[in-house]
Amino acid sequence: MSRRSTVAALCLTLLASGSVALGARCLSPAVARCSWAALTGNGPALDVPYLGTRPAVIARMLDMAAVGPGDRVLDLGTGDGRILIAAARRGASGTGVDIDPVLIGEARAAALTAGVAERTRFVAQDLFATPLTGNTVVTMFLLPRVNLRLRPRLLRELPPGTRIVSHAFDMADWAPDVTD
């Protein structure tokens, strides 16, 4: 994928061969926001700073992965939970994982306000300690080095057909099959 000033949402589908099918769409950048814990240094060490994903980008990500009722979504680096909440509004259920307990608290409150708390679960933990199994869709807005660290686990722990959507950053040599 070429370097551009825009950001890309990438959708990958694991294939039985261990390879991936990937679709991409370039979208405008998200706006940065940091939690109090991250700003003051009183929180956990972060591999990725929190950047809130815009609603149009979230909708595109979920469309690319065809998220709907019956899907089980794992949102790695969930932040304030907006991606998982949007997926739950489409009838999916899932878990959002973030190392920042302040953001997890915000995500739980937002899910309650949105009326989807019964379909969402938010956990404050390291995403590298999070089991990946049992999900049909994995969403993430992580840095390239984190995506690369996750790749072996994604291939090993997720069954063929699992959809992976990465906002903004690619998965290195998992080149897009389709760009729109």
The 10s digit of each residue's pLDDT in 54-66 is 888 889 889 988 9
How wide is the angle at C-alpha 1 spanned by C-alphas 5 and 156, nearest 5°?
125
Q: Is 54 exposed, middle or buried (0-12, 13-18, 19+ CB in 10 A)?
A: middle
Contact at 8 Å (CB) between 123 and 103? no
- Please give the domain boundaries of the chain with CATH numbers for all domains: 7-172 (3.40.50.150)
The 10s digit of each residue's pLDDT in 52-100 is 678 888 898 899 889 999 999 999 999 999 999 999 999 999 999 999 9
59 φ/ψ angles, rounded to the nearest 5 degrees:
-60, -45
The 10s digit of each residue's pLDDT in 2-47 is 333 233 444 555 544 444 443 333 332 332 333 434 444 554 444 5
3-state secondary structure of 125: coil
User: How many whole angstroms separate alpha carbon 42 and alpha carbon 19?
Assistant: 41
Alpha helix positions (H), 115-179: 144-157
| pTM of the shown model | 0.74
User: How many whole angstroms separate alpha carbon 15 and alpha carbon 28?
Assistant: 29
